[in-house]
Amino acid sequence: MLLCKKIKIEVSDQDGEALEFMQAKCRGLYNWWVMRLRNGDRWNLARAKKSLRESKAHDPELRFVYGKLLAEVYFRLDKAMQAFFRRVAAGEKPGFPRLKPRHQFFTLCYPAMYLEVQGKSITLPTGGGGKWGPKRYPNIVAHLTEIPPGSFHQVAVSRDARGNYYCSFVYDDAEQDAQDGRNKQSKRQQKRKARPIRDDGIVAFDLGIKTLATGVTDQGRFYHIGGFKGYRWYNRQLDKIRSKRDRCKKKSRRYIHLSKVYKRVAERKRNKQHDCLHKASHLIAHRLAERAVVIGDLSQRQMVIKKQENETPKERNKRRRRNRAVYNDWGLYRFVQMLEYKCLRFGKELSIIDERDTTKRCHVCEHKQDMPLWKRTYRCANCGLVMDRDENSAINIYQRFVAGPPPHTL
């Protein structure tokens, strides 16, 4: 399957300037097209690509941008437009392609065949040269901080909030394995090999805010996977830094310094959180013995609290805290995405089922009762069951999966 490896690169000041120049020009072209489409122009990929010649005549500086990168702009916009058409046809929220903001780096996509990799150095071409006239910037030679995959399909150059540049290599892991079978890394993976997979094993997970995932297996064993713990500590820091910064004069030295600190702390938090999700999803997809993995369908869950007309300060606080938890700190949607590709990769079957009422229902007697988030223990008013709410919910998901129509693979 296709995987992606993101590697930090080091570039000289001049090469950094060239990257900034090219991404700004690509973004300009993209935004100009979005504006045209917004004003009612019809989108046609072939015609748009042909118009590049006119665009170059209008803005000669486009010649200093590598041509394949400009071509990629049209493909990127085409993807955005096709997704928009699909949403309109499906009656969803349309979401017209948006303008790309100036402070964000416009990702540059290089097709592999025009790139040269030697050991840890990669050459990224710029525009101009030969029959295309003089070059403003020489080709970029970047130093990769890790060894890239042996064969790859595409490379995307991006920048994070703190100004570091990265190359993301898209590669096929099957090709890669064939290429370096005796690699050190694969040896390490073999040593850590999980227990043999039980083909008939099932594990069902309830995903939540307090604990990331609570699971139950067909053998009645429970798993508790705690999520990222430190976000409150980080949030407190971030809030403090931001409020300090906002009291400074804009663009002052202290303001800029605090902005930098803020970005650094925010990045550390993001990395920690990301790492935690990776580890948790890897544990489920690779280390657990059960072949079938079941989770609830998150799209049916109402996690975010909507703003009410005349809410009390207490309600307002609660809404803000909760929505911050859901949007920023929790990362469940990303977690599910990771789980999806990791299960596929390690030969597990992931099923996503309707999870309506799985928290409210008693798994013994089917009695239903309200379960506000602060109630951590399920106490059944009918049969007297006392159980952790997440465990009860995981059992419900398990039971629903077993009782439901068999999966199409059977």
Which residues lie near Zn ion (CB under 5 A)? 362, 364-365, 367, 380, 382-383, 385
Cβ at position 359, least distance to Zn ion in Å: 14
How far apart are CB 381 and Zn ion at their closest, in Å? Answer: 8
Taking the complex as a whole, how short is the minimal distance between the CB of residue 221 and Zn ion, in angstroms?
22
Q: Nearest distance from residue 383's CB to Zn ion, in Å? A: 3
Question: Residue 47 corresponds to which tokens in the numbers above?
Answer: 């015609």
Question: From the CB of 370, what's the least distance to Zn ion, in Å?
Answer: 14
Residue 83 CB partners (closer than 8 Å, separation 6+): 95
242 or 367: CB nearest Zn ion: 367
Which residue, 11 or 362, is less far from Zn ion as judged by CB?
362
Residue 142: CA count within 13 A, CB half-sphere: 30
Shortest approach of Zn ion to residue 215 CB, angstroms? 21
Q: What are phi and psi of 160, to 5 degrees?
A: -95, 180
- When the beta carbons of 194 and 383 are compared against Zn ion, the nearer one is 383
Tokens of 18: 């060239």
Distance in Å, CB of 376 to Zn ion, minimum: 17
CB of 385 to Zn ion, least distance (A): 5
Pair of tokens at residue 323: 């929505």
Cα–Cα distance, 332 to 352 (Å, whole number): 14
What's the closest the beta carbon of residue 382 comes to Zn ion, in angstroms?
5
- Alpha carbon distances (Å) from 341 to 34, 201, 263: 32, 20, 30
Give residue 214's identity as a one-letter amino acid code: T
Is the Cβ of residue 348 or residue 400 nearer to Zn ion in the bound state? 400
Question: What single-letter amino acid sits at 146?
Answer: E
Task: For residue 256, give the amino acid letter.
Answer: I
Residue with tokens 């200093």: 64
Closest CB to Zn ion among 14 and 377?
Answer: 377
Which of 356, 367, 362, 355 lies closest to 388 in space, CA to CA? 362
User: Which one, 219 or 382, has the nearer CB to Zn ion?
Assistant: 382
DSSP state of 162: T
Q: Are residues 148 and 117 in contact, defined by beta-carbon separation less than 8 angstroms?
A: yes
Tell me whether residue 386 or residue 410 sits nearer to Zn ion (CB atom): 386
State the Cα–Cα distance between residues 119 and 125, nearest whole angstrom. Answer: 17
Indicate the burial class of 291 (C-beta count within 10 angstroms; 0-12, 13-18, 19 or more). Answer: middle
Sheet (strand 290-296) strand order: 222-225, 213-217, 198-207, 290-296, 349-353
**What is the Cα Rg of the chain in Å?**
26
Whichever of 295 and 397 has its CB closer to Zn ion, that residue is 397
**Entry field: residues in the chain:** 410
- The nearer residue to Zn ion, 256 or 383, going by C-beta atoms, is 383
